[in-house]
Structure 1
């Protein structure tokens, strides 16, 4: 996944705003408490304090960018939903949205007492003992400041081609001191797979199914596994739907609880989505993207020999949106955007590598959110 720069975001947002201004109000959801879609009560946008014209415009833009689904929910109600090419209950790849699922699995393991943020990864990965990677912590992997080796070739070609992606990731070297540099490091995140398995005593795909998907009612979701060793792909392997992702977002809106049962400590929720996890990137929590102001980094920004950005940028991903908005993002413009202040979620999934794929990510979803609220 590559985040667009703020200037590119602005162009995409302006295009959507111009589109939205000329669309009449549409209310695809008929009023009435008895109607539900995939378990979600349906209400009209207006009854939820949302502008239907903006949601309709957002859907048109999503369709133009080869989306497969688009949904907006508020206060646990479905205000708007569109599906293209696939039925709503057909799982589809969502790429790096998986990382936010992985963060949540770590949080559940912490809640269960099986893991701690400041555990050394070498406790679970013996290959790192006695090496420069020995002091890398679970927190470093979640914050993407582990300092583990990263290059475009390694992370986007060699890792994907490896017979065992987990073993490839473990076998890379230490590039920078832990905590000293930030990188959007797929291989480093994949190392959370053996950490979770050894900490919980359970295969990660099964742990996700039993401890997260089942409690949340995410019945159309699964983590794919590596063919060589049945290891779950924790940096990109989630298959899911728009409305299952809404259930995932609700876990964070409810500060770690589902149906009165706590899955995540409130302190973990705050660390994951409520504040920056590293001084190197204000826009990053624990494998979630944030709208916090400060020094921000994109996924593939050029860096110097010390791993610091060649062209530092200060600002926000979406400066017109509330600073506590957060998102799970994936390649091809996959997005689950959550606004805890208004309990509103905007979700878009689509086909990868389409022209203009970056236009439907954090910024455009945030535009739909801010323009839709009355």
Structure 2
């Protein structure tokens, strides 16, 4: 027995004196980054510090910017010029698109419905085959010329919906791309007929109030029609909520306010190869034939159509709501980023082009 015990003791001693085996670490790479934690704003945005915006602020001030806000992963990184609201101009169009998406989700309309289903004046005219999708993609073929759109409809027509409905049909739907304010205004008649509500009231109940846009109002023309081509007054922080809703694929605090499928169609693909940079009343960063609207933004002339992208250095999933004078709600889902700029028209279209604005913000965050 003593001999056996001695052998056991020797075995234990040898085991204790040998070097323990080292654990094997999980392989890692320098490119791995933690998954961001997205949050939603309450009454105001949560604040975080990231980026160097000194240069951005100088360049935006030189471009007559009124307010500027940057949100990343649901946190406000930077904000200037808050405290008042101003016209958001054609950013309104992109909000109108969201309302069409909400109404479609509710079964009140379908994007491929003929608009004449809701606009009886078109049923026996050349406009009878224009669809809601055609109106959203600016390929409706409805009459357009600069004087009619900007001087007569925008500045002089007291009933902008009736004026727009009463215009003629220039071409077959889907054969021409025009940035057509009057065509977008006819969506007021479509939405009011489909929902049975004033469009601004429908927006407040289904969109603006649910995402906490307390500083935003929506104008009516002299005949009482909500102006769907323009007319929203807002602030940069409020408009950042629109961008954040779209970045989160239409979801807000656990509720799907507008379907992710509509958001994807509106913001993540070209609605027509006539202008690869346009979705459904949102501008997109897809490559192809690009048509911009410098003249409609108040500059002397338009750039000729070209092959390329709106912002070649920005991620392809970037999209924008654009207002007169280079006002932007820019969204980059792959970066969790929303940036909003409001203000007067810059000195040149290049000073705050889609590309220039995207480059400024991305460099401030050291993303580009």
Aligned ranges for residues 289-368 of structure 1 at < 5 Å?
A: 289-299=283-293, 311-351=304-344, 353=345, 355-356=347-348, 359-368=351-360
Note the residue ranges of structure 1 that are not aligned, 5 or more in a row: 1-35, 46-50, 303-308
Cα deviation, 1:27-63, whole Å, max 9, x if unaligned, reads xxxxxxxxx9961111111xxxxx31xx221111111
The residue that corresponds to 1:150 in the other structure is: 144
Kept in 1, the 8 Å contact 2:142–2:171? The answer is: yes
**Bigger Rg, which one:** 2
The residue that corresponds to 2:219 in the other structure is: 224
Q: After TM superposition, give the deviation of residue 369 of structure 1 in Å.
A: 3.0
Aligned length: 320
1:176 aligns with 2:171: yes
Kept in 2, the 8 Å contact 1:291–1:317? The answer is: yes
Distance in 2 between residues matched to 1:168 and 1:104, nearest whole Å: 24
Cα deviation, 1:318-366, whole Å, max 9, x if unaligned, reads 1111111000011111111110001111111002x45336622422221
Q: After TM superposition, give the deviation of residue 311 of structure 1 in Å.
A: 4.8
SS at match of 1:183: coil
TM-score normalized with structure 2 length: 0.83
Kept in 2, the 8 Å contact 1:111–1:263? The answer is: no
Q: After TM superposition, give the deviation of residue 301 of structure 1 in Å.
A: 8.1
1:282 aligns with 2:272: no
Q: After TM superposition, give the deviation of residue 310 of structure 1 in Å.
A: 11
Distance in 2 between residues matched to 1:40 and 1:122, nearest whole Å: 42
Distance in 2 between residues matched to 1:210 and 1:90, nearest whole Å: 23
Distance in 1 between residues matched to 2:255 and 2:117, nearest whole Å: 30
Kept in 2, the 8 Å contact 1:276–1:290? The answer is: yes
Aligned ranges for residues 37-52 of structure 1 at < 5 Å?
A: 39-45=44-50, 51-52=51-52
Distance in 2 between residues matched to 1:207 and 1:104, nearest whole Å: 11
Kept in 1, the 8 Å contact 2:327–2:343? The answer is: yes
Q: After TM superposition, give the deviation of residue 65 of structure 1 in Å.
A: 1.6
**RMSD value, Cα:** 1.9
Distance in 1 between residues matched to 2:96 and 2:125, nearest whole Å: 26
Kept in 2, the 8 Å contact 1:335–1:361? The answer is: no
Kept in 2, the 8 Å contact 1:69–1:82? The answer is: yes
Aligned ranges for residues 1-374 of structure 1 at < 5 Å?
A: 39-45=44-50, 51-52=51-52, 55-83=53-81, 88-160=82-154, 161-227=156-222, 229-299=223-293, 311-351=304-344, 353=345, 355-356=347-348, 359-374=351-366
The residue that corresponds to 2:20 in the other structure is: none
SS at match of 2:209: helix
Distance in 1 between residues matched to 2:269 and 2:117, nearest whole Å: 27
Note the residue ranges of structure 2 that are not aligned, 5 or more in a row: 1-40, 297-301
4+ runs deviating over 3 angstroms: 309-312
Distance in 1 between residues matched to 2:290 and 2:271, nearest whole Å: 12
Distance in 2 between residues matched to 1:313 and 1:278, nearest whole Å: 15
Kept in 2, the 8 Å contact 1:93–1:240? The answer is: yes
